[in-house]
Chain A
Amino acid sequence: MPEGLAVLKWDDELGPIVTSKTPKRLKIGLDPTTSMRVYGIATLGETEESQKPGFSSLAFDDFKLAVYYGGLNMHLKGQPSMVFLVLHPEEDPDVYKDALPEIATQIFLNAEDEEYTKMVPTLYKQISRYTQMTPEQQQASILSDPVRRSIIQTLMKNGTVQSADLEKLIFEEVGKKIDVDIVLRPLVKMGLIATGWVEGLSSEVVYLTRALFMLRTVSQDTVRLVRQSDMPKDVIDSYLQSSKQYHHEYISRLRNDLFKTVWSEAEDIGNLMLDFEAYDLIQALRKGPVEKTELPDLTNLSASKINKKLGTLRRFKIVTTIKDEHKREYVILRCNPEIVTIYPEWLIQRTVDQYNSETIANQQAMHYLEVLKNSHPSQAAIIAKIDVE
């Protein structure tokens, strides 16, 4: 566990100052000489034209620092621009390479009216868990974030958008002006979007390369294991019947309104996947049906915690519990919440249509078609082969 988390901003009269920290007693790593040095390392050679926000790590005699710097723009405006994670000398800062930028982004996005100061203790508690996130949970974090979810939704409809328009869209969505670049960084890193400049356009252009959404799939493993289990036949039949009914209805909903069905519950399910206790239960149940009394051993959660989380999972129709005649209670996945990324094939025709109707700039459409061509799964394999050769 790190020693603490601190947020710093540049004050013209005072230099780097700590605006928020947790725990309150944290002092190590925050002295003026160290913070000036870290500012120096982060900003050395940087100009307003060549912003270089990013992660860096530093080792001192008594401590280490993992640092995320938000860029010269934030520095010069006197906004929070640096997040320090203070570590023991034996800790490896690189463990926090993915988690710290995510935590810092939450802080920078809530810089207005210093809202972030209330969030810092919670974010600090979350940081260790962030390092344990599976790739699936990292994707879920996109779906649970209203701004990023809205960006993905827009891009899944239109494929490409200028970042200036995206800024307006975000403003309408969340009611405040935020730095689009910060929001997009993890999406670029996950390979969901690409950005680029197009001649004649005044702002950067954002392109969707992989669509991301959440589906409730039938867990074939669960069905097979239920069939093979030594559960009473009436329990097996009851489960299979209710599961079949459930998925039948779900597929009908998808057919009726795919977009609405996929997005209406993305936030809730995304949040559930990020709830480590609920996620541990889902992971345990993905391996097959379980008698409720076995769950404490399988998940290291207390019985009361399991009851609470199962209640939530039942409410969101992810698990079902069935009792047999001997009052033994079985917990089974009703559906498998699955976050999927797919190649957005439908956007090829959509882009052609937008080109023909001139709803987007010709250069932008051409560039996006090129991006789609290069990111096509068949093309990606060829490029990878050429790279290897």
Chain B
Amino acid sequence: MIREMHIFKEGQTLFKDIIVENRDLETDSVMMLVSTSAKKLQEWKIDSMEIERYRFVYMNSHDTQFILTMDRQASLHKVNEAMMSLVSQFMTVFESNLESDEWKSTDFSLFEIGFRKIVGKIPIKLCLAGHGGTGKTTLLELATLPSRGPPQEYVPTFFGDKALLKADFDPYIFSIFDLGGQDRFVQEWGKIIRAGNLVVIVTDSTENNMEWTKRVAYPVLKTELPYARAIALANKQDLPGAMSPEEVSQKLGVPAYGMQANQRDFRDRWLDLLRRLAFEEIDFAIVGEIAETE
């Protein structure tokens, strides 16, 4: 997931587009650090550096420094390809401006359209993780197949399922992976969840399920996706005795949100949660930093 793009020349910002702001680091200082490294790069070479949960991918061409900020957990290969496309596009339009002093008076803001188009080609990978029967497949279908209605019977998901989701997330689209929740499949999650940006921990809001999630799911998630953002869903809130989202949150050490995936009315809430998680407008945890709770 690409979050920002900055283009610098001779210490001046030519272009800046921030889709999801980095609130953990002081952007100006980081950009100065990264652009200093970028200046030393050979023409058209790409390099990257990691700071906390971010990765900064940079390139130098025509003495101009191009920097993409991405989630550290996402696939570097695709962002490198995106960088090549972006710089090629930029040069097609602005190369002559950069070769003379014209760049000092050029308006580069139009580049935002091309930038966001390329950003949308790399889906945000969202993993639905949780024990069998907690409602992951129902959530996948609620998001991607709303006309089908909730499944009437529980059929355990073999290995995993996936679907693309395009909704009100511009410029992003989601690639949602429903991870098989039987114990034998949890050990296989590593093959599926690589490069996952977001994790939604799905629970059925029962005490037993909290214990299973911490004991079985957490070790795999923490090993494979330490820098991913996570929330928990306190699903099945309609069932008697369901723990409240606050209780689930406390038990799991992750902000939890109430859900009834078997109700079509909850689709808007579900999509809104996804959008706000992607744009970092709700509380979330970083998987590797989830505190051990009793």
Contact residues of A with B, CB < 8 Å?
12-15, 32-33, 36-37, 39-41, 43-45, 72, 75, 78
* Contact in complex: B161, A12 (CB < 8 Å): no
Confirm or deny: B23 has a beta carbon within 8 angstroms of a beta carbon on chain A: no
Confirm or deny: B192 has a beta carbon within 8 angstroms of a beta carbon on chain A: yes
B69-113, CB < 8 A from A: 74-75, 77-78
Confirm or deny: B215 has a beta carbon within 8 angstroms of a beta carbon on chain A: no
Residues of B within 8 A of A32 (CB): 161-163
Q: How far is the CB of A79 from chain B (nearest CB, A)?
A: 12
Other A-B contacts than A40-B159, A40-B188, 15 sampled, CB-CB below 8 A, are A12-B75, A12-B78, A12-B194, A13-B74, A13-B75, A13-B123, A15-B162, A15-B175, A32-B161, A32-B162, A32-B163, A37-B158, A43-B188, A44-B184, A44-B188
- A36 to B161 Cα, complex, angstroms: 6
Q: Which of A15, A33, A41 is close to B192, meaning CB atoms less than 8 Å apart?
A: A15
Confirm or deny: B148 has a beta carbon within 8 angstroms of a beta carbon on chain A: no
* Contact in complex: B159, A12 (CB < 8 Å): no
- A36 to B159 Cα, complex, angstroms: 7
Residues of B within 8 A of A72 (CB): 191
Q: Which of B75, B77, B177, B188 is close to A15, meaning CB atoms less than 8 Å apart?
A: B177
Q: Which of B77, B125, B162, B163 is close to A78, meaning CB atoms less than 8 Å apart?
A: B77
Interface pairs (5), CB distance under 8 Å: A12-B194, A13-B74, A13-B175, A40-B160, A41-B158
Residues of B within 8 A of A40 (CB): 158-160, 180, 185, 188
The 6 closest A-B pairs by CB, nearest first: A40-B159, A12-B195, A15-B162, A12-B75, A13-B123, A12-B194
Residue of B175, B191, B194 with most partner-chain A CB within 10 A: B191
Confirm or deny: B221 has a beta carbon within 8 angstroms of a beta carbon on chain A: no
Interface size on B, residues (CB 8 A): 24
- A15 to B174 Cα, complex, angstroms: 12
* Contact in complex: A13, B122 (CB < 8 Å): yes
- A43 to B74 Cα, complex, angstroms: 23
Residues of A within 8 A of B175 (CB): 13-15
Contact residues of B with A, CB < 8 Å?
74-75, 77-78, 122-123, 125, 158-164, 175, 177, 180, 184-185, 188, 191-192, 194-195
Q: How far is the CB of B42 from chain A (nearest CB, A)?
A: 24
Residues of B within 8 A of A78 (CB): 77
- A377 to B226 Cα, complex, angstroms: 58
- A36 to B191 Cα, complex, angstroms: 11
Residue of B77, B123, B159, B177 with most partner-chain A CB within 10 A: B159
Residues of B within 8 A of A44 (CB): 159, 184, 188
- A40 to B194 Cα, complex, angstroms: 15
Q: Which of A13, A33, A41, A75 is close to B191, meaning CB atoms less than 8 Å apart?
A: A75
Q: How far is the CB of B157 from chain A (nearest CB, A)?
A: 9
Residue of A14, A32, A36, A43 with most partner-chain B CB within 10 A: A36
- A15 to B158 Cα, complex, angstroms: 15
Interface of B is mostly: mixed
Residues of A within 8 A of B123 (CB): 13-14
* Contact in complex: B159, A13 (CB < 8 Å): no
- A36 to B162 Cα, complex, angstroms: 7
Q: How far is the CB of B119 from chain A (nearest CB, A)?
A: 13
- A43 to B185 Cα, complex, angstroms: 11
Smallest CB-CB separation from A33: which chain B residue?
B161
Residues of A within 8 A of B75 (CB): 12-13
Residues of B within 8 A of A13 (CB): 74-75, 78, 122-123, 125, 175, 195
- A33 to B77 Cα, complex, angstroms: 25
- A12 to B123 Cα, complex, angstroms: 10
Smallest CB-CB separation from A44: which chain B residue?
B188
Residues of B within 8 A of A14 (CB): 123, 162, 164, 175
* Contact in complex: A43, B163 (CB < 8 Å): no
Residues of B within 8 A of A41 (CB): 158-159
- A362 to B191 Cα, complex, angstroms: 41
Smallest CB-CB separation from A75: which chain B residue?
B191
Residues of B within 8 A of A15 (CB): 160, 162, 175, 177, 192
- A351 to B22 Cα, complex, angstroms: 66
* Contact in complex: B159, A37 (CB < 8 Å): yes
Smallest CB-CB separation from A40: which chain B residue?
B159
Residues of A within 8 A of B164 (CB): 14
Q: Which of A12, A36, A75 is close to B160, meaning CB atoms less than 8 Å apart?
A: A36
Q: How far is the CB of A65 from chain B (nearest CB, A)?
A: 14
Q: How far is the CB of A31 from chain B (nearest CB, A)?
A: 10
Residues of A within 8 A of B184 (CB): 44
- A128 to B80 Cα, complex, angstroms: 42
- A14 to B162 Cα, complex, angstroms: 8
Residues of A within 8 A of B77 (CB): 78
Q: How far is the CB of A84 from chain B (nearest CB, A)?
A: 16
Residues of A within 8 A of B158 (CB): 37, 40-41
Residues of A within 8 A of B185 (CB): 40
* Contact in complex: B195, A39 (CB < 8 Å): no
- A336 to B175 Cα, complex, angstroms: 59
* Contact in complex: A39, B159 (CB < 8 Å): yes
Residue of A12, A41, A43, A78 with most partner-chain B CB within 10 A: A12
Residue of A13, A15, A40, A44 with most partner-chain B CB within 10 A: A13
Residues of A within 8 A of B163 (CB): 32
Given A12-B75, A13-B75: A43 in contact with B162 (beta carbons within 8 A): no
- A37 to B195 Cα, complex, angstroms: 20
Q: How far is the CB of B186 from chain A (nearest CB, A)?
A: 12
- A75 to B188 Cα, complex, angstroms: 14
Smallest CB-CB separation from B195: which chain A residue?
A12
Smallest CB-CB separation from A16: which chain B residue?
B162
- A37 to B77 Cα, complex, angstroms: 26
- A41 to B188 Cα, complex, angstroms: 11
